[in-house]
Amino acid sequence: MTALVCVLAYVAGAGASESRSSVIFSIAQIRGLMAQQHQNAMLPTRLPPKIAFVDVGGGCSSLGVGGPPCFAALAYITRRTGGARSFQLAIYNGMVKTKVVHALLRHDGKFASTTSFAAGRFAGTRERQWNKTYKVGGVDTYVWQYGTTTYALIVRFLDSGAQAFPGTVPRTIIASFTPVKGATPPPAPAPRTATMPNVIGMTFKAAADAIFKAGLDARRIQDVPAPTPDLVGKVVDTSPKAGVKAPYGSIVTLYIGT
């Protein structure tokens, strides 16, 4: 089984979360993996500011709306841990654009509408889901085909109509899709173990950054009583403890004082 297929099989069971329970790659890595495993696929090169990573999520079945299964579900994010999502991308084998759009329309019901769009050499259908009574914006899904591959780009917008993530211009992103053939291959494997840093007294964000730089991942499992007032909102304990060696990429549990 190929590397990317193994990754997709793993995260389909694990699901995506704000920590690295799914698998996150840099932009260069994801293009390299796609070049090796799916040479007919294309990926965008014009990305919003701060987008540097791709979260390979699980549940690759037409975005969860009951359509045909895709072979890649990618979320473009700002950071490896707790990153804000800019947009999502689903890629399908075959000319299944109509099936994907119909599945979206069935799922969104009376709050769905469609219109055609064109972006560079690509043209397709934009399906919009927007219940204006909720005052929380909506979601646009751009669906198009190129050759025998179908793509769906999902972006969220605010009630004002502005994109939820600054700098996201869907048509510009779509127009920039290029073949991944010849992209940078993944770097050499990371070391097998990493040493847990001392993050006691840090905020969750600062601790998560330090832990990731050390080669591990972090999650906030639960809040606990703070032993002193100055530790409210700070890390009061970790598992494993500082100085302990752990398998590279393993999850560290942080306990935050309340």
Q: What is the mean pLDDT of residues 129-139?
A: 83
* Confidence at residue 209, expressed as pLDDT on a 0 to 100 scale: 83
Backbone CA torsion sign across 53, 85, 118, 110: positive
Residues 6+ apart with CB under 8 A from 12: 58, 59, 60
Residues 6+ away with beta carbon under 8 Å from 224: 236, 237, 255, 256, 257, 258
Say what the pTM is: 0.65
Enumerate the β-bridge partners of residue 72. 91
- Tally the residues of the chain: 258
CA distance 217 to 249: 6
CB atoms within 10 A of CB 13: 8
pLDDT digits (tens, 9 = 90+) for 137-179: 899 999 999 989 999 999 999 988 888 998 999 999 999 999 8
Read off the tokens for 64.
């969860």
Q: Note the pLDDT tens digit of each residue in 180-233.
A: 876 555 555 555 788 999 999 998 888 888 887 888 877 766 688 888 989 998
Question: Is the pLDDT confidence value at 47 over 60?
Answer: yes
Of residues 28, 100, 114, 14, the one with CA closest to residue 61: 100
